[in-house]
Amino acid sequence: MASLPSPVAAAAAGITTPYSSSFATVSSWPLLSKKCSIKSAKQTHRYGVRCNAADSDDQKPIIESLNSLDRRNVLLGLGGIAGAVNLTSIPSVGAAPLVAPDISKCGTNPLSGFKAGADTPEGSDCCPPDSSQIMDFQFPKEEVFRVRPAAHLLSPSYIAKFNLAIKRMKELPADDPRNFLQQAHIHCAYCNGAYTQSSSGFPDVEIQIHNSWLFFPFHRWYLYFYERILGSLIDDPTFGLPFWNWDTPAGMKIPSYFNESSSALFDSKRNQDNLTAVVDLGYNGQPSTLSDLDKVTNNLAIMYKQVVTNATDPLLFFGGEYRAGTEPIRGGGSVEQSPHTPVHRWVGDPRELNGEDLGNFYSAGRDTLFYCHHSNVDRMWSLWKTLGGKHKDLTDSDWLNTSFVFYDENKNLVRVYVKDCLLTSRLGYDYQRVDVPWLNSRPVPRSRKSGIARRSMGRVKRTTDINFPVKLNKTVRVLVPRPKTSRSQTEKENEQEVLVVQGIEYDSQQYVKFDVYVNDEDDDNTSPAQTEYAGSFAQLPHTHKGKTKSKTNFRAGLTELLEDLEADDDDTILVTLIPRSGCGDITIDGINIVYV
């Protein structure tokens, strides 16, 4: 069949493509199966989705050539008229966007801060080959569209194609920037202090692409070039990088073909107890005693909490501001905290001193599963933008004009900008349509708890009576005053109420995680499936310029949570922080409530 014209070309020609006229409306969410009904909840930004059995075509696995599929039935479809906007025309009016690093000044041995004996011979120097020639990114002109398929639905022939592409990448010369290990070094260099902000005028300040608003755009660009390299190595421009669909029950296990030792997709450094287990999106660093059913229930609730409840504002979803001359101390976005980070550690091998491969930032790119994991993380960005309301990309010029450099499929060093990756349709790819069950998995309160904070007075201190910083080597409970109560629906739509745990200082060489609950008195029977669960702070091990301590913040949405607990009129809430992993040396500077 003739290839489907890109949304940009179709819009320019006045052609109506699927979803092009209603891509931003919830009623036409193309990632959902065809037979879905949507019921509006109390909040205008909240939706309940009920889906019947999908058409038989939606359940078919991806077959040998994606060109044989009618792409109109599998594309996410966020393009349309918006795809014709020239994002490169956005003026650079920001004061301090981060500038792409000068890779010739890449620091050596950025992993020296890790424990002695770490198995890091290949990763002790993350620096890529240098190039004096830098090209500016140009949008692809080809009409071929790539569809990223769900990893658990791949056919044997597609698995073979994926395996061949990775095999050829591993066989490239060691100094080829497209080589498998060289590609893994990209992640290592950008997140372990190998690059500094020298191009921005701050040679003593490192670049870190986690824990800030750079998390999503950096990884989108990273996968974009990785995918194109794989496709070029097998001479298939339609090749789409599979996404590990851990947000739906059928995809919550590592696909079995990743565990075949003879495959190029295999990695020996994975948690052997989890190879055939249901993933734990709230992984605490220790084996779970929950049943598979309870894990699935918790996973779906976590997805709803992190993509819906805790992501009602762009900065809550993407992460805090990160500008030239600064460090990313304002905190990561909701999806980055969880499920992204716990999945990393859940796959990483506890037999390895530093949790390699996927369980540590410097080694994560050595596991092929990393790229499928992040393909699904990238998919969350596309899904989140379909939720309406404030679910829109940031407009801050410092974010839009931040730049990175990557090697492309032709070994060219390419400079890219955040503003050019906002629409996957313009980059020539999209995601297979699958069901999104967590949209109908709103957590349920254990009980209605209006006035619980008032009843806790005398037994629990208020924030004003605590001498911060405090250690989190045990459960911390505190009463937090609310600046505003009994807000109208209009006020809630204009401003989201947000809980902030400030100045979290932690050991960056450890997997660190603690859970946050609101108005919950039973610390021994907690669950992410209950409304009282506000979210989790989670950090994967990393180093930065030899330092072993990092500092950041945690934020969680309160507006919907307090409505569900019928505590919207309370002037104080009870906040409980429960340490889960690596919290012995954590200190916290404060806990308060803000409005965004």
Which residues are annotated binding-site positions? Answer: 187, 210, 219, 340, 344, 374
Residue 26 · residue 386 · CB < 8 Å: yes
CB-based contacts of 289, cutoff 8 Å, min separation 6: none
In the residue annotation, 374 being an active-site residue is answered as yes
In the residue annotation, 152 being an active-site residue is answered as no
Annotated catalytic residue within 45, 152, 185, 210: 210
- Secondary element (H or E) of residue 404: strand 403-407
Strands, E assignment, 42-184 = 47-51, 134-136, 146-148
Q: Find the DSSP H helices in 478-569.
A: 489-494, 559-564
CB-based contacts of 493, cutoff 8 Å, min separation 6: 43, 44, 45, 389
Annotated catalytic residue within 152, 344, 373, 391: 344
Give ∠ CA 133-134-139 in degrees, rounded to 5: 140
Closest by Cα among 371, 389, 378 to 423: 378
Listing DSSP states for 130-145 in one string gives: P-S-EEEP--------
Pairwise CA distance, residues 274 & 295, whole Å:
13
Annotated catalytic residue within 114, 137, 318, 361: 361
CB-based contacts of 527, cutoff 8 Å, min separation 6: 298, 301, 533
Closest by Cα among 389, 368, 351, 418 to 216: 418
Report the binding-site residues for Cu cation. 187, 210, 219, 340, 344, 374
Pairwise CA distance, residues 19 & 24, whole Å:
9
Annotated catalytic residue within 45, 152, 185, 340: 340
Q: Could you tell me the two tokens for 551? A: 């500092």
Annotated catalytic residue within 45, 152, 185, 219: 219
Quickly tell me which residue has 């990632």 as its tokens. 31
Q: Could you tell me the two tokens for 73? A: 């039935």
For the chain, how many residues are written? 596
Pairwise CA distance, residues 374 & 372, whole Å:
5
Annotated catalytic residue within 152, 185, 187, 373: 187
Coil, strand or helix at 34: coil
CB-based contacts of 340, cutoff 8 Å, min separation 6: 373, 377
Q: Could you tell me the two tokens for 378? A: 């990238």
In the residue annotation, 544 being an active-site residue is answered as no
Annotated catalytic residue within 45, 373, 374, 542: 374
Pairwise CA distance, residues 227 & 142, whole Å:
15
Pairwise CA distance, residues 441 & 448, whole Å:
18
Residue 170 · residue 182 · CB < 8 Å: no
- Enumerate the active-site residues: 187, 210, 219, 340, 344, 361, 374
